[in-house]
A and B are shown apart, each in its own frame.
Chain A
Amino acid sequence: MSTHAITVTLNGEERTGEVEARLLLVHFIRDHLRATGTHIGCDTTSCGACTIMLDGLPVKSCTLFAVQANGCAIKTVEGLATNGEVHPIQEGFMECHGLQCGFCTPGMMLAALGLLERNPNPTAEEIRWGISGNLCRCTGYQNIVKSVQYAAAKMAAGGK
């Protein structure tokens, strides 16, 4: 069994850990780095509750080993707000009632951010495809689509 010293940049801050090779990235983030905003839903790569940004791309952290993230930049829901100001995506979810229980929300927001970074002005259809790896048991998605549209408009207007 091999253990590895790894370093990641979590939301701009350098963090290190000593991990077994088989440790999943989501467990490293939650249990070792104690950033528990990233959730575990299905544990089978289906639901997207564990979505994080790895070097700028949204991925499912339940399907990566922590060692694979060595040297990478990770953004989680905790890193969305800056200087106490919520990110336009967070504001969109608040304003448009994009969540109910909130379990899917951290992953949903990071998947949405990944979409908007590639396509700043998506159609409702493109938003639905963009979040198709993220399941929500509560909202019926309608308000999530509106939240992402809100964020897109705000970001286009220079809100970040």
Chain B
Amino acid sequence: MIPGSFEYHTPSSISDAVALLQQYGEEAKILSGGHSLVPMMKLRIAEPEHIVDINGIAGLDYIKEEGGVLKIGALVRESDLEHSDLIASKFPIIADAAKLIADPLVRNRATVAGNLAHGDPANDHPAVMLALGAEVVLTGGSGERVVPISEFFVDLLETALKPDEILTEVRIPMPPANSGGAYFKIERRVGDFAIIAVAAQVTLDASGNCASAGIGLTNSGPTPIKVTAAEAYLAGKALDDATLSEAGNLAEAASDPTSDTRAPAEYKKAMVKQMTIRALRRAAERAKGGN
């Protein structure tokens, strides 16, 4: 399959890349990992006239902790997350997800930023970032703005990104003590997109009750879903079976999946409930220091 013709640009700085986006507007697309964009171009679902390849911009491949915030640069690949000690020790929820995204070869290219910017509810990072209360830094012609991830996903394949903006950094608050997270994904076979998946992050208080919880759903509606009703319900509660089950009900109620070749909607909804229960349980175990 041969993509349509395009002009290829290799800016060496963010400002040069933004200038190209300003010049070409809707005709231009950022290329980072290219593992969503290139397949779409081969199928001619996407036919951008200008490709702005940001891979040559130096200094965007950092994973670092700064002022209580984890910062992930735009060119961090899935495989970088998989092999990061900081992620393994502080963000098992991200490590869980990274390992289940596509396959090791795709993960050597695919970026976290691209995974979010694509706006695909089937992608795994959106739900994880919703559970973690992340923010994204968008850099464009009028400077930088910081958008909470809960306001980033607008519709299917549509985000808050303006045509001249680049997602330059993901920011995640470092979890307080007694926190843990987990990502549970049901897939037909290794490397596939999720039938559905659930991300859960919890922080326990001194008595072992839930101080706060974050829950995100993958492939359960036209956009990634933050289950605010379950998050509010869990605050202050002991995470016993009845409470987890009710949180599962609230997640199921918040989900709005469609039937497709992967599974019927009824099955997906039932699985949203079960995976919510399991992800919360594992998150709580990890918050207590387990694995």
Residues of A within 8 A of B (CB): 1-2, 4, 20-22, 24, 43-46, 48, 51, 57-60, 63-65, 67-68, 111, 114-115, 118, 129-130, 132-134
With CB as the reference atom, state the residue of chain B lying closest to A44: B39
> When the two chains form the complex, which single residue of B6, B53, B83, B106 contacts A60, counting CB atoms closer than 8 Å?
B106
In the complex, how many angstroms separate the beta carbon of A19 from the nearest chain B beta carbon?
A: 10
B261 contacts across to A, CB distance below 8 A:
none
Stretch in B97-105, B115-123, B127-135, B207-215 touching the partner: B97-105
Complex Cα–Cα for A44 and B108 (A): 17
Q: Does B242 contact A (CB under 8 A)?
A: no
Question: Least Cβ distance of B2 to chain A in Å?
Answer: 7
* A-side interface mostly: mixed
Residues of B within 8 A of A130 (CB): 104
Which residue on chain B has the smallest CB distance to residue A70? B10
Per the bound structure, the CA–CA distance linking A159 and B3 in Å amounts to 43
Fill in one digit per residue for B1-30: 1 if any A CB lies within 8 Å of its CB, else 0: 111111110000000000000000000000
- Give per-residue flags for B61-89: 1 if the beta carbon is below 8 A from chain A beta carbons, else 0: 00000000000000000010001000000
Of the candidates A51, A59, A63, A64, the one having the most CB atoms from chain B within 10 angstroms of its own CB is A63
Question: Are the C-beta atoms of A133 and B35 separated by less than 8 Å?
Answer: no
Least CB distance, A132 to chain B, in whole angstroms = 5
| A118, B83: Cβ atoms closer than 8 Å | yes
- Nearest to A133 among chain B residues (CB) is B103
Q: A21-B6, A68-B34, A132-B191 are in contact. Are A63 and B104 (CB under 8 A)?
A: no
Q: A57-B108, A59-B105, A63-B38 are in contact. Are A22 and B1 (CB under 8 A)?
A: no
Does A2 lie within 8 Å of B108, measured CB to CB? no
A4-B53 Cα distance, complex, nearest whole Å: 14
User: Which one of A4, A22, A44, A133 contacts B104 once the chains associate, using CB atoms below 8 Å?
Assistant: A133
Contacts of A111 in B (CB 8 A): 104-105
